[in-house]
Amino acid sequence: MEYSLRRAAQYACTLLGYTLQRNGASPDFLARIKQLESHLSLGRKLFRLGNSADALEAAKRAIHLSDMVLRFCITVSHLNRAMYFACDNILWAGRSGLVPHMDQEKWSQRSFRYYLFALIMNLSRDAYEIRLLMEREASGKCPEEEEEAGTAAARPAGKRAGSSS
């Protein structure tokens, strides 16, 4: 939520600057608005630096799930997300000039691969959970029996194992 507010504030500054420029605002005032937008953008990017650590922590939690398929899918997904964010941070450092002479194409491709594999693992987990729900429905088991068996399908909607909401 906080990230969305920061993004909204940054985009509001961009829109305000554009509107003021079209309406003939003073160059000094426009420069201040652009500087504010730049600071908000940098702040958003700095806050994203912690996403890799969050994804690693989520992977550490997911490794303890009792269902082997869910443990694999969720842990690997979180590890790939951590790598995606790490590549994204390296890309940001290159674009901002902190890491000169960086091959941005190579890091962008790596970032994309990690992101794609995380999505594939999430889709695999979803397909598995749908299969569990369909099996439960076909067998006529009640949710309490499923919970005793230790499956994730009995969890209330929106409460998937290992999800970091």
Assess whether 37 and 55 both reside in one domain: no
Local structure of residue 156 (DSSP, 8 states): P
In a domain, 115, yes or no: yes
Judged by DSSP in three states, 24 sits in coil
Record the tokens describing residue 118, joined without a space.
């995380």
pLDDT tens, position by position, 126-143: 999 999 999 999 988 665
Rounded to 5°, angle at Cα 15 from 10 and 16: 95
Q: What are phi and psi of 151, to 5 degrees?
A: -90, 160
Domain that includes residue 26, residue range: 2-47
46 by Cβ neighbours in 10 Å (0-12 / 13-18 / 19+) ranks as exposed
Instruction: Flag whether 158 is in a domain.
Output: no
* Whether residues 35 and 104 fall in one domain: no
**Model pLDDT for residues 83-119, shown as the tens digit of each residue:** 999 998 898 888 878 888 889 899 999 999 999 999 9
- pTM for this structure? 0.65
SS3 state at 161: coil
Residues 123 and 59 in one domain: yes
Q: For 19-68, how does the pLDDT look when each residue is reduced to its tens digit (9 = 90+)?
A: 888 888 888 888 888 888 877 777 777 777 888 999 999 999 999 999 99
Q: Where are the beta strands (DSSP E) in 87-135?
A: none
Of all helices (H) and strands (E), which one includes residue 158? none
Measured CA to CA, the distance from residue 100 to residue 97 in angstroms comes to: 6
Whether 83 and 144 map to the same domain: the answer is: yes
Q: What angle do CA 28, 29, 30 make, to 5 degrees?
A: 90
